[in-house]
Amino acid sequence: MNKTNFRKNHSNFEKQIDWYGKFLDRYLYKLLQAEQCELLEAFVLKIAVKWEVLVIQDIITSLNHDSIKYSKEIGLKLRKHLTKDESEAILIGHRYIDFKSVDDVKKFAKRHLSDKFDPFKLIDNASAKKINHFFAIRNYLAHYSSYSKRKYRTVLINDYNLRRVCEPGAFLLKIDKETKLYRWVDFIKTFLSISRLMRG
């Protein structure tokens, strides 16, 4: 039985993220500032989807290699080695899986996945926090709800020490005080470095 592969999952993800980074670097600064903000906000939504797809692919890959822990947790007698389709079916079924944060993913993985095939345990706290910041931006852009706006505002005030809360595009255009990188570049580098750790 052919096994799915963490390395392939992450190689594909990294190629896509790298492509977005190069695309932005090539075209972003040729635009007017308002257009730059629009492009960066669209970029956030695209990158977020790529990350969510990677998370699901990695969970399916883990179950494809060893489903015993998951079987015990859900109370089913399953073979240890499931096919990719079987792994996807028992994980997703007919519904969409939505993890609220990196901690949420890590807790799920610790509870349901074999330790040997758990790439999420390799995500350090600082990187997890950075991804959570990114998803606070994404949630605000995706919903524009009062709740998502409050979460976004809290991140900017508490974690970035900003007195004045700006829209996501303007926030991403600024240079981060700690990393000395444009914030959009910093997020790309974070996703790439985490992925390289996780793929083993």
Residue 138: what pLDDT? 98
Q: Is the pLDDT of residue 89 over 80?
A: yes
Average pLDDT on 133-142 reads: 98
pLDDT: which is higher, 85 or 146: 146
Counting the structural domains of the chain, the total is 1
Residue 95: what pLDDT? 66
Average pLDDT, the chain: 94
pLDDT: which is higher, 65 or 96: 65
Q: Is the pLDDT of residue 73 over 70?
A: yes
Q: Residue 94: which pLDDT band, with cuts at 50, 70 and 90?
A: low
Q: Per the domain annotation, does 188 fall within a domain?
A: yes
pLDDT single digits (tens) 9-66: 999 999 999 999 999 999 999 999 999 999 999 999 999 999 999 999 999 999 999 9
Q: Per the domain annotation, does 71 fall within a domain?
A: yes
Beta carbons within 10 angstroms of residue 189's beta carbon: 15
Query: In the numeric block, which tokens belong to residue 173?
Result: 């255009």
Q: Per the domain annotation, does 36 fall within a domain?
A: yes
Q: Over pLDDT 90: what percentage of the chain?
A: 81
Residue 77: what pLDDT? 84
Q: Is the pLDDT of residue 118 over 60?
A: yes
> Residue 46: which of 22, 16, 26, 25 has the closest Cα?
16
Q: Per the domain annotation, does 48 fall within a domain?
A: yes
Q: Over pLDDT 70: what percentage of the chain?
A: 98
Longest dimension (CA), the chain: 59
Distances (CA, A) of 177 to 18, 44, 61, 160, 183: 23, 21, 38, 9, 9
Q: Residue 125: which pLDDT band, with cuts at 50, 70 and 90?
A: very high
Q: Per the domain annotation, does 1 fall within a domain?
A: no
pLDDT: which is higher, 75 or 143: 143
Average pLDDT on 2-15 reads: 91
Three-class HEC string of the chain: CCCCCHHHHHHHHHHHHHHHHHHHHHHHHHCCHHHHHHHHHHHHHHHHHHHHHHHHHHHHHHHHHCCHHHHHHHCCCCCCCCCHHHHHHHHHCCCCCCCCCHHHHHHHHHHHCCHHHCHHHHCCHHHHHHHHHHHHHHHHHHHCCHHHHHHHHHHHHHHCCCCCCCCHHHHHHCECCCCCCEHHHHHHHHHHHHHHHHHC
Q: Per the domain annotation, does 10 fall within a domain?
A: yes
pTM of the model: 0.93
Q: Per the domain annotation, does 44 fall within a domain?
A: yes
Q: What are φ and ψ of residue 138, in 5° steps?
A: -60, -45
Three-class HEC string of 127-145: HHHHHHHHHHHHHHHHHCC
Q: Decide: 103 and 97 in contact? Cβ < 8 Å.
A: no
Q: Per the domain annotation, does 65 fall within a domain?
A: yes
Residue 81: what pLDDT? 82
d(CA 53, CA 48): 9
Residue-range definition of the domain harbouring residue 122: 6-199
